[in-house]
Chains A and B, each alone.
Chain A
Amino acid sequence: MSDKTEVNLTGVKQSKGVWLVKVPKYLSQQWDKATEKGEVGKITIGKKQGKTEVRFSLNAELSALGAVGEKDGSLQVPRDHPFTMHTVGGQTMAVFSQNDTDEISLEGMVVHRAECRPVVNDNYMKLKKLQIKESTKPQRLSQRLERAVTVFKPVANHDFNMEYEKKKKTEGKMVRAERQLVLDMLFSAFEKHQYYNIKDLVDITRQPVTYLKDIMREIGTYNSKGAHKSTWELKPEYRHYQSAEEEEEMEAA
């Protein structure tokens, strides 16, 4: 369990009120293109006929849909966005931030919720059309091919086969080593794991199967049933495994 991070409550203490604003995706994309300074636009808060009105206007250079600098992009992102403000009714919301160093601090309380809405005009409609077209395109596409693509060609000898034969040649036949040597290898292998497949043992010891089986029959037993299906293990007199608990105890001691 990680240590509990003490939450920095300074933000809340100062009763900093923040706004939670829902911004459309395209707008946030444009904001990502902003310069280093980060200025994206202006907010105008005014009172019109008694009602508080908030408008956001996007900076001109950011309104081009496309790379920054291309002023004559086909479409322009709408610039004018009035905010619709709501009060925080059924929820008490606070904002907390997390550092790279996993420090948590409470930034403030949400006092207003707002939605950023664009002004609906033709330009906007065209933009939306484009978006919808993009999203309705299927991710995968079935395409009819002109000419059939042949993958499996008749081959004198398959690549895979050739590799195999080469490997066999280089490694050569497995030679029977000294019995004692093999026994040593087996014992050291069984020190690491209790159950082994005969194939794995062949791999480890590089001995022909019959010879290896012979030796294994002498020092081990074959499990045909049970949890470790067709595996070999050492005979009880040859092994003295400690359970994991005992090992832990030994380590702790």
Chain B
Amino acid sequence: MTSLGSSSSSSTEYTVRVPKNTSKKYNIMAFNAGDRVSCSTWTQARMERDMSARRIYGEEETTEGAAGSEFGRKQREEARRKKFGIVTREFKVEDQPWILKVNGKAGKKFRGLKKGGVTENASYYIFTQCPDGAFEAFPVHGWYNFTPLAKHRTLTAEEAEEEWGRRNKVVNHFSIMLQRRLREQERGDDEEDETEKSGKRKKKGGGSKGGELRIHDLEDDLEMSSDDSDSSMGEDGESKTKVKKDTGKGKAKKKKRKSNENEALEDSDDGDYEGLEVDYMSDESSSDEEPEKGKPAKGEDLPKGIDEASESEEESEEEKQNDEETKEEEEEEEGKKTPVQMEKKKKKESSGESDSSDDSDIEGETASALFMKRTPPKRGGGRGSAGSSRTGSRPGTPSIDSASTSNTLRAAASKLEQGKRQTQGPATDSPAAKRLKMEPSSQSPVPSGKSTPQPPSGKSTPSSSDVQLTEEAVRRYLIRKPMTTKDLLKKFQTKRTGLSSEQTVNVLAQILKRLNPERKNVNDKMHFYLTE
């Protein structure tokens, strides 16, 4: 180091060295002045590359080898990409951002993004003064701008947009994040929470009153203005406790509401009904309708009864009706869960009735017709008769079975059968019980569902005594047309086969197992069929 002595200016000279052999690469770590970062306060720091972008650049990995892979897939994919001129940028580790963690876990976190174009037109050098007074200049390899990462929770883009839409209404901003936290805790439906949010917000707007349901925002504003002024005085702690109180109460209410909603949901839950063999339930419900409808129903029934007799031959109509009925039944099924219990009881009643009607078979055909209509209304099997009690539109012939049997010979016999069937089949709680039992147990064995005990009158055999639950019979049915287990059960009614409902179910299950029919989904119901 030479020092030149000049009169007017005192200057010192230093040599500048640019070391050639440095293995070190120098980079700039730039912070924003507003962040007030003081590196001298750092006791410990860790830094690593942020590799989260790697999976974006990484190609989707199709299973290598064995299942699902194709020979030469990669080459073909590459050729395709070249053909279309898709240029995928490589994932360069060098260009990835840095993650800097200062002072351990409780300290600050920074993310450093590389600044482009630094070394293009001008070179930056770092001049450090060595102990011997000379300057050493190192070229800057890269420039990273470090920004602090927020430790507090933030809203996602969608949530932020939502809140933006509500900015005129929301006065209590604490609630926004609290809601979010609660939501995460409970992991309920987002929609549920958000609908509750509005109500809750109002509650929270109550502030010190702690959760009273507010009706209009004006009150909120009045309340909140006072609250705001309080908090603005700088008593953040207080407001926070207030909010906590609110959340506490709000939570309770929320949970209450939730449970209510849950109940509501469960009430309207469709899936519960499907396995419940709502046919029988529907029978009960139809018996529910009995007291309600009373005379008008009977009035309908009488002409319907006559209609039934006359229209039993009209299979096509019946089939249509059956379809309609199934839909109707399903609709009705959906609506009722609580009535189920009632229905069960009423089934007992109606079963009693039907039994009595069975005795008086011939004479009570019309009477049985009445019962038939009421009982099978909600049979999933889509009985024509079932529909009759509900809608006058259908000439409610309980001719599902006859529908399935295309034999005209049996038409006449089918009438008789139907009469008997209807009295026997539908409105018995044993079928209902059967159905319920079937439900849990029959998941696999009886696939296409509800085996309503029906006389195996697939071919509408004239005499009821001949109806047997045999593999042959089931086979015949399934070859003819796809059927649900409900339908099948209807065919083999307990009274006809002489088996109890439980037995029918079991036997039918076994038969189906043996037959191993093919399945298809029609109208959301599993149907079985055989092709031979």
Residue numbers of A with Cβ under 8 A of B are: 1-7, 9, 12-13, 15-16, 18-25, 28, 31, 34, 36-48, 53, 56, 89-100, 104, 106-110, 114, 189, 191-197, 200, 228, 231, 241-244, 247
Measured between beta carbons, the chain A residues less than 8 angstroms from B37 are 92
Interface pick from B122-130, B232-240, B249-257, B409-417: B122-130
Identify which of A36, A95, A244 contacts B67 (C-beta below 8 A): A244
Question: Which label, helix, strand, loop or mixed, suits the secondary structure of the B interface?
Answer: strand
- Say whether, besides A4-B101, A38-B18, A95 and B23 are in contact (CB < 8 Å): no
* Least distance between B223 CB and chain A CB atoms (Å): 43
Measured between beta carbons, the chain A residues less than 8 angstroms from B85 are none
**5 other contacts beyond A97-B24, A98-B24, with CB at 8 A cut-off?**
A4-B47, A48-B8, A96-B47, A97-B27, A241-B68
29 pairs, CB–CB < 8 Å, chain A vs chain B: A2-B51, A13-B40, A20-B140, A23-B122, A41-B15, A42-B16, A43-B13, A44-B11, A47-B9, A48-B8, A48-B9, A93-B31, A95-B26, A96-B47, A97-B25, A97-B27, A98-B25, A106-B39, A107-B128, A114-B127, A192-B69, A193-B70, A194-B66, A196-B71, A197-B70, A200-B71, A200-B72, A231-B70, A241-B67
The answer to whether B49 and A195 have CB atoms under 8 Å apart is: no
The answer to whether B124 and A1 have CB atoms under 8 Å apart is: no
The answer to whether A46 and B11 have CB atoms under 8 Å apart is: yes
CA distance A108 to B130 in the complex (A): 13
The answer to whether A45 and B14 have CB atoms under 8 Å apart is: yes
The answer to whether B66 and A91 have CB atoms under 8 Å apart is: no
Measured between beta carbons, the chain B residues less than 8 angstroms from A114 are 127
* Least distance between A144 CB and chain B CB atoms (Å): 30
CA distance A48 to B10 in the complex (A): 8
| A-B CB proximity, top 4 nearest | A46-B11, A241-B67, A4-B46, A19-B127
Measured between beta carbons, the chain B residues less than 8 angstroms from A92 are 30-33, 35, 37-39
The answer to whether A20 and B124 have CB atoms under 8 Å apart is: yes
CA distance A18 to B44 in the complex (A): 21
Identify which of A20, A42, A93 contacts B13 (C-beta below 8 A): A42
The answer to whether B124 and A23 have CB atoms under 8 Å apart is: yes
* Least distance between A90 CB and chain B CB atoms (Å): 5
Judged by a CB distance under 8 angstroms, whether B149 is at the interface is no
Question: Which label, helix, strand, loop or mixed, suits the secondary structure of the A interface?
Answer: strand
Judged by a CB distance under 8 angstroms, whether B184 is at the interface is no
The answer to whether B127 and A91 have CB atoms under 8 Å apart is: no
The answer to whether A100 and B23 have CB atoms under 8 Å apart is: yes
Measured between beta carbons, the chain B residues less than 8 angstroms from A43 are 13-16, 135
User: Which residue of the partner chain A has the closest CB to B93?
Assistant: A2
The answer to whether B19 and A194 have CB atoms under 8 Å apart is: no
The answer to whether A25 and B40 have CB atoms under 8 Å apart is: no
Judged by a CB distance under 8 angstroms, whether B137 is at the interface is yes
CA distance A3 to B15 in the complex (A): 40
The answer to whether A45 and B40 have CB atoms under 8 Å apart is: no
* Least distance between A200 CB and chain B CB atoms (Å): 5
- Say whether, besides A7-B47, A16-B128, A21-B137, A42 and B66 are in contact (CB < 8 Å): no
The answer to whether B30 and A91 have CB atoms under 8 Å apart is: yes
**What is the 8 Å Cβ interface bit string for chain B, positions 107-135, against chain A (1 contact, 0 not)?**
00000000000000111111110000001
CA distance A25 to B33 in the complex (A): 29
The answer to whether A25 and B123 have CB atoms under 8 Å apart is: yes
Q: Which of B110-169 contact A (CB under 8 A)?
A: 121-128, 135, 137, 139-141
Identify which of A7, A97, A244 contacts B45 (C-beta below 8 A): A7
- Say whether, besides A21-B124, A47-B10, A194-B69, A7 and B46 are in contact (CB < 8 Å): yes
User: Which residue of the partner chain A has the closest CB to B64?
Assistant: A244
Measured between beta carbons, the chain B residues less than 8 angstroms from A39 are 15-17
Measured between beta carbons, the chain A residues less than 8 angstroms from B24 are 97-99
Measured between beta carbons, the chain B residues less than 8 angstroms from A1 are 48, 51
User: Which residue of the partner chain B has the closest CB to A189?
Assistant: B71
* Least distance between B389 CB and chain A CB atoms (Å): 48
- Say whether, besides A34-B20, A92-B30, A195 and B70 are in contact (CB < 8 Å): yes
CA distance A19 to B264 in the complex (A): 71
* Least distance between A69 CB and chain B CB atoms (Å): 18
User: Which residue of the partner chain B has the closest CB to A103?
Assistant: B24
Interface centre among B15, B30, B39, by most chain A C-beta atoms within 10 angstroms, is B39
CA distance A108 to B24 in the complex (A): 14
Judged by a CB distance under 8 angstroms, whether B342 is at the interface is no
User: Which residue of the partner chain A has the closest CB to B39?
Assistant: A12
Measured between beta carbons, the chain B residues less than 8 angstroms from A196 are 70-71
The answer to whether A18 and B127 have CB atoms under 8 Å apart is: yes
Judged by a CB distance under 8 angstroms, whether B393 is at the interface is no
CA distance A4 to B50 in the complex (A): 11
Identify which of B28, B33, B40, B42 contacts A95 (C-beta below 8 A): B28
CA distance A107 to B29 in the complex (A): 10
Q: Which of B239-273 contact A (CB under 8 A)?
A: none
The answer to whether A197 and B72 have CB atoms under 8 Å apart is: yes
- Say whether, besides A38-B17, A56-B16, A98-B25, A91 and B124 are in contact (CB < 8 Å): no
